[in-house]
Amino acid sequence: MKKIAILGATGSIGKNTLSVLSGMRDAYEIVALSCHNQVAALLELAAIYKPALLAVTDEAAAGSVTEVPEGTKLLSGQQSLLALVDMADLVVLGVVAIAGWPVLVHC
């Protein structure tokens, strides 16, 4: 089973990727999801897909999170994206422009 991290999970690329992967759960495990500041949407996705890690790059938005699903750890800040990609076999990089550059270089 391939492990997938979806960076920008609450945006159009992330949502479409999750839609496709929903029919392939026997082949792919979603291990990490991220967003910039759409915390409520990210937590909804976390409840469905139960990833090991979540990242919210906007630290102020991350501070508003009071609870995450059991077995899921929340990271915050731009550098948290690097921790997500380190645990995945495949990375979907659906974040805006320059925000994705450090991840691309890291991979």
Looking at residue 101, what is its pLDDT? 63
99 vs 41: which has the higher pLDDT: 41
Joined tokens for residue 40: 């409520």
* Of residues 96, 8, 4, the one with CA closest to residue 49: 4
Q: What is the pLDDT of residues 25-42, one digit of tens each?
A: 899 999 999 999 999 999
Looking at residue 79, what is its pLDDT? 86
When pLDDT is averaged across residues 49-54 and rounded to a whole number, the result is 95
pLDDT confidence bin for 51, thresholds 50/70/90: very high
When pLDDT is averaged across residues 67-89 and rounded to a whole number, the result is 90
Whether the CB-CB separation of 83 and 53 falls below 8 Å is answered with yes
Q: Up-side HSE of residue 70: CA atoms within 13 Å toward CB? A: 0
Q: Look up tokens 């995450």; give the residue.
A: 68
pLDDT confidence bin for 3, thresholds 50/70/90: very high
Joined tokens for residue 91: 């990375």
Whether the CB-CB separation of 48 and 33 falls below 8 Å is answered with no
79 vs 10: which has the higher pLDDT: 10
> Is residue 100 predicted with pLDDT exceeding 70?
no
34 has which bridge partners?
A: 55
Contacts for 3 with CB less than 8 Å, ≥ 6 apart: 28, 29, 31, 87, 88, 89, 90
